Amino acid sequence: MKLNRRYLVFPIDLVFMILSFFLAHWIRYENLRFLEDKNLFFTSMAIVVGVRSVIFLASGIYRSLLSHASIHDLVEIIKTTLISSLVATTALLFYNRYSQLSRVVPILDTLLLLSFLCIRSFSWRMIRDEIFKNRGLHDDSIPIILVGAGKLGATFLSEIRRHKELNFQPIGFIDEDHSKIGGHIQGVPILGNIDILDTIIKNRKIEQVIITIDKSNGIYIANIIQICKSLKVQYKILPSLGELFLETSANINQLREVEVEDLLGRPAVNLEVENIKSYLSGKTILITGAGGSIGSEICRQIMYFEPAKLILVDSAETPLYEIDYELRSRFSGEVEISPVTADIKNLSRLSYIFEVHQPQVVFHSAAYKHVPMMEINPSEAVLNNILGTKNVADVSRLTGVERFVLISTDKAVNPVNIMGASKRITELYLQHISLNSRTKFITVRFGNVLGSNGSVIPRFREQIKRGGPVTVTHPDVIRYFMTIPEATQLVLQAGSMGEHGEIFILDMGEPVKISNLAEEMIRLSGFRPNIDIKIEFTGLRPGEKLFEELMLDQEGIKKTHHPKIRIAAPLENYNLLLFQNKLNTLFSMAKANKNEEIYQLFQEIVPEYIIHNQYLESTRKQAEK
């Protein structure tokens, strides 16, 4: 068997063991009197060095690379040295009960050996860093500034030093924490805050600014971009710690262009990992709509919690194939993955799936979501969003599913469209059936998700790519936004908190004006709004309203122990039998494609629902006032 090159360090450590033992005696006695009994001294040395050698070779301290020595390695060295000292001292006690030996020597020996080992371990890293620093002074190096002197920035700085081929010369850090200014990270100074960024770029001839902020702040990032653009300096960004959730640490490959999602700046989500793990780890999980934007991200996030089995249900074959392929490629084969093509409107098919796979947790994200499409196809909204959800919920209850999590929307609040009203009815249905069920039915309500299929951002990107115009429905339209990873992480968190039919509302932050979003995307693409690329207002689409709400006035609101999740107070319970009779009538009308009757039944079941034409008339009158 070929000897690992890292074990070639052992002869050096052997010399250190002998030297520390000798120096410990010399310091203790302040002369060479201890050599008068050479037999005792050399026998004791042989015992100590022999015991230390066995323990050192059996430990893991030679598995680490000297060039990447870290605090973890220091802890391992201290632990191994202390254990070897304890065993060696015990061996000497057995040898001659410590007769004619000083009790101070083992302490001095241990401290000296620790010092030698630390110098040995970290000297090469310090030399390497110094060489890197000097090499960075070459004329062909690229001077860069890192904005963000936190964990992400420090990790990325280490990555830069490992990838010498990049030829980056880090000049310093910029950070808004005044207590950090004047300090150093790995020898690189923290120069100041963003107020001096333009001065540093000019004076130090910076060629690239890299944003390494632990927690996203859209306004802050926008200011950095404005400075870089005015000075014609390149800029790039690393994903925030929230985006990197459980997946990996910062590395060179994650460096990317700034996107509009960064400017909308959502802070990282603090998850109660153990609570989430308690209901997902080792369980059989079923996700409907697994090929969609939210469903596929739920699949990815759940994989980190090591379920026993993941059942992917979707009626669309291609998206289902893609998420199945991705999960098998990215994750190890320890989790059994079963892709299942099925339509949630088919109750017998669902019953078969649940009987075969016996899921313990269900995430129901399958739904038609495009407001204008559902407004002109109300029967499909009823059958897919309401009947489909009822089917999945009923089968879950009958088969003893532990938790059922429904993905709902802010459009369910005071709905003016069929899509929102259909989701509101599903919320009400879960609240009804949760009262007498062992299954914990949980609803999670949130707004628009950045970058989801068919959302406004991909559409704007395509329009900008074509040279415009960028179309916005109305200059006053505002929406709540959050990123796909943040939404799904909070869904998993809420899933651990629910008990009986609660509706959890995610903190969506401040609403965003869509016209401002369009302008920012045009600027990020290197164009000027309404000069290079025009913005056109096309009027509200069928079913669309100017602004969305996250809760009904009569719902009230309660805080939870998680700062980003609130809970809507449940409404007074309806008569379940009467409610189900109305649903059955609604399903019959949908199957018969009686659209006018569907609108009227929606107003009966969801009293706050307003038909879109009536909403537009009301909006027009308010505008005239």
pLDDT at residue 119, as a whole number: 81
Same domain, 369 and 391: yes
Look at 16 and 512; give whichever has higher pLDDT. Answer: 16
Of 97, 132, 167, the one marking the end of a domain is 132
Q: Is residue 203 part of a domain?
A: yes
Task: With respect to residue 40, please indicate whether it lies within any of the assigned structural domains.
Answer: yes
Residue 202 included in any domain: yes
| Pair 499, 576 in one domain | yes
pLDDT the model gives residue 185: 82
Residue 34 shares a structural domain with residue 71:
yes
Asked if residue 428 and residue 296 are part of one domain, the reply reads: yes
Residues 40 and 115 in one domain: yes
pLDDT confidence band for 270 (50 / 70 / 90): low
Last-in-domain residue among 132, 149, 169: 132
Q: Domain check: are 250 and 305 in the same one? A: no
Q: What is the pLDDT of residues 88-109, one digit of tens each?
A: 888 888 877 766 677 788 889 8
Q: What does the mean pLDDT of the chain come to?
A: 81
Residues 141 and 179 in one domain: yes
Q: Are residues 100 and 201 in the same domain?
A: no
pLDDT band at 513 (very low <50, low <70, confident <90, very high): confident
Instruction: Report the first-to-last Cα separation within the chain, whole angstroms.
Output: 88
Least confident of 257-271, 444-458, 536-550, 570-584: 257-271
490 and 451 within one domain: yes
Domain-embedded: residue 411: yes
Q: State whether 166 and 307 are in the same domain.
A: no
Task: Using pLDDT thresholds of 50, 70 and 90, give the confidence band for residue 419.
Answer: very high
Report, as an integer, the average pLDDT of 120-148: 66
Domain end residue (candidates: 77, 107, 132) = 132
Determine the average pLDDT of the residues in 528-535. Answer: 88
CA angle 265, 269, 271 (to 5 degrees): 175
pLDDT score, position 3: 46
Residue 546 lies in a domain: yes
In a domain, 396, yes or no: yes
Residue in this structure with the two tokens 């989701």, named with its chain if needed:
423
Residue 336's pLDDT is 92
Number of domains comprising the chain: 3
> For the segment 25-45, what is each residue's pLDDT rounded down to a tens digit?
888 887 777 777 788 888 888
Kindly state whether residues 103 and 144 are assigned to the same domain: no
**How many beta carbons lie within 10 A of that of residue 127, not counting itself?**
11
Tell me: do 147 and 32 sit in the same domain. no
Give the structural domain span for 354.
273-617
Greater pLDDT, 449 or 233: 233
Domain assignment present for residue 468? The answer is yes
Q: What pLDDT is attached to residue 488?
A: 84
Residue 362 lies in a domain: yes
Q: Report, as an integer, the average pLDDT of 409-425.
A: 88
Predicted confidence at residue 625, as pLDDT, reads: 61
Please enumerate in sequence order all residues whose Cβ is within 8 A of that of 551, keeping only pairs 6 or more positions apart, or say none.
Answer: 413, 505, 557, 568
Average pLDDT over residues 144-159: 83
Span 105-124, mean pLDDT?
83
The domain that holds 402 is classified in CATH as 3.40.50.720
559-604 per-position pLDDT tens digit: 677 767 777 766 556 677 888 899 999 999 999 999 889 988 998 8
Three-class HEC string of 428-482: HHHHHHHCCCCCEEEEEEECEEECCCCCHHHHHHHHHHCCCCEEECCCCCEECEE
Name the range with the highest mean pLDDT among 93-102, 227-236, 447-456, 518-527: 227-236
